[in-house]
């Protein structure tokens, strides 16, 4: 993994925390996410006017990947919405961001995507997982397998599954795009072209789903009545976050490393929950964060 990829992922982790803080504070919902995706699409639609990539000439496999990405985003949105209703930011954010490490590594290993993960990487992932198990606890003595067999944990896994799905499929879609775009087009342009197409497709599907439900339409009306500018900031931060992630995918040998290092935002997310949302954070949670960071460091040695 190159140093450039590290810088890109770290920057994306910080902006990712910001839009999640806004989503939690403004009560995340399908309508809110649809607006967020719309402003993200508007911020990057200009790419369609100057990109040399001929999007509409791409093979069917690309659009199948895109359909899978949209389905995964819906799963992520539903999981995240319900998780933020059940858990506070200090607990929910680390779990939603950390579980995809294991899931992405498992999928890439089973399907042979990217280079083979070393034993050090697998050990680092195990340490990260141990840290994740500590995050929901108020104190160490609360540890119990029943603690992780609750509805809230299933919701976390739903969001994590969505994240894993669109991460792997985005990597595959970019590979297809790269193979069909020609060697003269630089990887950054390919990533921006892909995200522009992705964001327009996703926003359109999100609006179709949102307008089908009365609750979704009411959320949209509420955002309009309140002139809620938070959704604009969240949309720009969210879109910028993922563009950085897509660009970083061009500089790693396995997308599991991108997913792993996105967890650099965990300490920032914990601090944001405590300092901005005024949530409580037990010492055992910080021990969990320390284990996660140690696992991240060991996985790339």
Banded model confidence at residue 298, pLDDT cuts 50, 70, 90: confident
Tally Cβ neighbours within 10 Å of residue 185. 15
Instruction: List Cβ neighbours of 218 (8 Å cut-off, separation of 6 or more).
Output: 31
Judge whether 137 and 285 are in contact, CB under 8 Å.
Answer: yes
How far is 213 from 7, CA to CA, in rounded Å?
41
C-beta neighbour count of 249 within 10 angstroms? 23
Region class of 2: left (phi > 0), else alpha (psi between -120 and 50), else beta: beta
**What residue ranges do the domains of the chain occupy?**
3-299
Is the predicted pLDDT of residue 184 greater than 70, yes or no? yes
Place of tokens 């897509």: 246
Predicted model pTM: 0.84
Nearest CA to 247 out of 202, 197, 187 is that of 187
pLDDT category of residue 220 using cuts at 50, 70 and 90: confident
The pLDDT tens digits of the residues spanning 103-115 come to 898 898 888 887 8
- Does pLDDT of 277 surpass 70? no
pLDDT of 3 higher than 70: yes
Instruction: Say if CB 125 and CB 183 are below 8 A apart.
Output: no
Cα separation of 207 and 80, whole Å? 18
The answer, yes or no, to whether residue 265 has pLDDT greater than 80, is: no
* Best mean pLDDT range from 12-21, 151-160, 225-234: 151-160
pLDDT of 64 strictly over 80: yes
Q: Are residues 89 and 21 in contact, defined by beta-carbon separation less than 8 angstroms? A: yes
Residue 205, pLDDT above cutoff 90: yes
Write out the two tokens for 113: 């995507």
Measured CA to CA in angstroms, residue 183 lies from 5, 186, 243 at distances of 21, 7, 21
- The predicted pLDDT at position 170 comes to 95
Measured in whole angstroms, the distance separating CA 225 from the mean position of its chain's CA atoms is 29
Dihedral sign, Cα of residue 165, residue 169, residue 170, residue 171: positive
Answer for the pair 89, 20: CB distance below 8 angstroms, yes or no.
Answer: yes
CA dist list (Å): 99 to 18, 48, 164, 256, 292: 20, 34, 9, 12, 11
Contacts of 59 (CB under 8 A, 6+ apart): 176, 180
With contact defined as beta carbons under 8 Å apart, do 94 and 269 qualify? yes
Q: What integer pLDDT is reported at residue 164 of this predicted model?
A: 94
What pLDDT does 47 receive?
95
Which single residue is written with the structure tokens 């994306």?
12
> Given this model, what pLDDT does residue 162 score?
94
Of the pLDDT bands very low, low, confident and very high (cuts 50, 70, 90), residue 177 is very high
Which of helix, strand or coil describes residue 87?
coil
């Amino acid at each position: 993994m190159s140093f450039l990829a590290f810088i890109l992922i770290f920057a994306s982790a910080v902006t990712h925390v910001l839009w999640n803080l806004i989503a939690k504070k403004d009560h995340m919902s399908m309508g809110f996410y649809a607006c967020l995706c719309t402003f993200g699409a508007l911020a990057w639609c200009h790419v369609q006017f100057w990109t040399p990539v001929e999007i509409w000439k791409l093979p069917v496999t690309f659009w199948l990947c895109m359909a899978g990405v949209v389905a995964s985003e819906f799963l992520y949105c539903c999981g995240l919405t319900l998780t933020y209703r059940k858990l506070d930011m200090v607990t929910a954010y680390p779990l939603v961001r950390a579980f995809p490490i294991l899931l992405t590594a498992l999928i890439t290993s089973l399907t042979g995507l990217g280079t083979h993960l070393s034993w050090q990487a697998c050990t680092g992932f195990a340490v990260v997982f141990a840290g994740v198990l500590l995050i929901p606890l108020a104190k160490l003595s609360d540890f119990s397998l029943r603690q992780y067999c609750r509805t809230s944990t299933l919701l976390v896994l739903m969001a994590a599954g969505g994240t894993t799905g669109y991460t792997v499929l985005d990597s595959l879609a970019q590979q297809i795009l790269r193979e069909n775009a020609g060697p003269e087009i630089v990887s950054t342009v390919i990533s921006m072209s892909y995200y522009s197409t992705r964001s327009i497709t996703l926003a359109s599907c999100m609006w179709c789903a949102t307008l089908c439900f009365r609750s979704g339409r009411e959320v949209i009306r509420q955002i309009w009545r309140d002139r809620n500018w938070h959704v604009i900031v969240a949309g720009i931060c969210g879109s910028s976050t993922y563009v950085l992630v897509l660009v970083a995918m061009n500089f790693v040998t396995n997308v599991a490393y991108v997913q792993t290092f996105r967890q650099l935002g965990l300490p920032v997310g914990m601090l944001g929950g405590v300092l901005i949302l005024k949530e409580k954070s037990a010492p055992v949670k910080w021990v969990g964060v320390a284990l996660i960071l140690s696992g991240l460091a060991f996985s790339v040695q």
